Amino acid sequence: MKILVNDRLESVEAALAAAIKTGEHNAEIVCTYARTIGRMRNAMWRALRLARQGRPHDAMLVLETELAKGDTTRKEDGREP
């Protein structure tokens, strides 16, 4: 399964949540938007690692915590969100 990541953090959460809930823990993360990836890629890898360890609730908590920080990608670039 490939998890396609674009510039919408909500799509990251949805794709990874689906992978974790279906037990697809060997997902490959495919990035299409480089700046989003820095922070979220690390969170996604942590979440997948937790899911592989049989801790899907902790995996989702990692994602929810990261998403709660908000999408600062465009703000950092000086563009409007």
Cβ atoms of residues 32 and 6 within 8 Å: yes
Q: pLDDT tens digits for 3-37? A: 555 545 556 667 667 666 666 555 555 544 444 55
Classify 52 as helix, strand or coil: helix
Question: Tokens 């920080």 belong to which residue?
Answer: 69
Q: How far apart are the first and last CA of the chain?
A: 29
Residue 81: pLDDT band with limits 50, 70, 90: very low
* Tokens describing residue 18: 């689906």
DSSP state of 28: E
What's this model's pTM, rounded to 2 decimal places?
A: 0.47
